[in-house]
Amino acid sequence: MTTLDEAPCLKVENLDISIGDAIAVARGINLEVRRGETVALVGESGSGKTVTALSLIDLLPPPLRVTRGTITICGETITEATPDALNHVRGNRVGMVFQQPSSMLDPSCRVGRQVGEALQLHKGASRGEAFERAVELLREVGIPEAPRRARSFAHQLSGGMAQRVMIAAALSSDPDLLIADEPTTALDVTVQAQILGLLERERRQRTLSILLITHDLSIVSAMADRVVVMYAGGIVEEGPVETIMRAPQHPYTKALIDCSLMREAGSGDLESIPGTIPPPNRSIPGCRFHPRCPHALARRTGSVCASSEPEATRTAEGHLVHCWAVEP
């Protein structure tokens, strides 16, 4: 277990991300990942998870940009860092694993070279050394015939293989933090379990911190220590995984858990949340979730939900809920 006085591996304070200057896609994000901890960032598609992840290593595609707040990774303030300092953090202190593994590999570059790239950049390894180490890493992430696979190209790998390669590449220079953005979404269920097992094993062996971004709550309960739930660019609830999964307080979190298939489906019907997540360019006064919220308070006309945004309410140690209906 981690001690609280240790500086967090990742700390995000009051982060705002906008398209240009006008449209906010994420607002007031506060995040903390401590050493050796796995934090899951959960939400539907369009809730701003991936954008948040990319902002952490300052690789937001323009015109998306961070408009407010600070990001600190291993003591380096990303939001104020020079381009060189950023390049030193990326791949060295932070590894990144993405959703579509096959498209993340250069189609005309040997897999082994890409896995060893961070070693060449950050650890001063020669091309040959990096390649040799890449073969070892590939073996470590469970790729059979690693020496031969290192010489192959992206199109010769299955999705699961490609994701193992991406993990090997992300872990090659032994980073402190791994950001995994939907690492198993594009994979078969059986392969999903293998990849998650691999991530968990690496986390224990390396005392790695993981920020796991996913929409899949079954992954969350298996992997995470803490959960942060995002909706429409804002955090709605966060807390230890047991609390969130067993006693969620926010109506959105409750709805998400009801929708997830791991719940014993008594009636045989599949649950869904009525309505859709609002696009970033539509401004909603009050709580962003209130138009879809099933809670009686939100349904009442002229209620506080529709007029002002709820502040965080602490219901237990480390458990924060942004909802007017929750009493402290």
Partner 1 sequence: MLAWRANLPAGAMERFLLKRAIVLVVTLTLVSFLAFLVPWLGDADPARAIIRSRVADLALDSAAVEALRIRLGLDQPLLHQFFAWLGRVFQGDLGLSFTSRLPVADQILRAIGVSATLALSALFLALAIALPVGTLAAVHQGRRFDGIVTFIAQGFVSIPEYWLAPVLVLLFAVELGWLPSAGWSGFETLILPAAVLCLRPLAYFSQVMRASMIDVLHANYILAARSRGLGLAGALVRHGLRNGIQPVLTVFALWLAGLLGGSVVVEVIFAIPGMGRLIYSAVINNDMPMLQGSIICIVGLAIIINTAADVLYGVLNPTVTVSGDAR
Site for partner 1, rule CB under 8 A: 57, 59, 61, 83, 87-92, 94-96, 98, 100, 103-109, 114, 117-118, 121-122, 151-156, 166, 169-170
Q: Report the nearest approach of partner 1 to the CB of residue 173 (Å).
A: 8
Torsion angle of alpha carbons 241, 243, 247, 248, nearest 10°?
-60
The count of other CB atoms within 10 Å of the CB of residue 297 is 15
Nearer to partner 1, 170 or 257 (CB): 170
Taking the C-alpha atoms of residue 144 and residue 158, their distance in angstroms, rounded to an integer, is 13
Given a contact cutoff of 8 angstroms between Cβ atoms, the answer to whether 226 and 39 are in contact is yes
Strands (E) across 195-233 are located at 209-214, 226-231
Nearer to partner 1, 178 or 229 (CB): 178
Nearer to partner 1, 35 or 123 (CB): 123
Phi/psi at 149 (5° precision):
-65, -35
Nearest CA among 86, 84, 74 for reference residue 33: 74
Nearer to partner 1, 104 or 191 (CB): 104
Nearer to partner 1, 103 or 207 (CB): 103
Q: Report the nearest approach of partner 1 to the CB of residue 108 (Å).
A: 5
Q: Report the nearest approach of partner 1 to the CB of residue 131 (Å).
A: 14
Nearer to partner 1, 126 or 156 (CB): 156
Phi/psi at 150 (5° precision):
-60, -25
CA distances from 40 to 85, 149, 153, 191 (A): 27, 31, 32, 20
Taking the C-alpha atoms of residue 269 and residue 265, their distance in angstroms, rounded to an integer, is 7
Q: Report the nearest approach of partner 1 to the CB of residue 182 (Å).
A: 13
Q: Report the nearest approach of partner 1 to the CB of residue 138 (Å).
A: 16
The count of other CB atoms within 10 Å of the CB of residue 68 is 15
Nearer to partner 1, 138 or 323 (CB): 138
Q: Report the nearest approach of partner 1 to the CB of residue 3 (Å).
A: 30
> Can you tell me whether residue 109 is helix, strand or coil?
coil
Joined together, the tokens standing for residue 256 give 């998400």
Q: Report the nearest approach of partner 1 to the CB of residue 21 (Å).
A: 18
Taking the C-alpha atoms of residue 12 and residue 182, their distance in angstroms, rounded to an integer, is 20
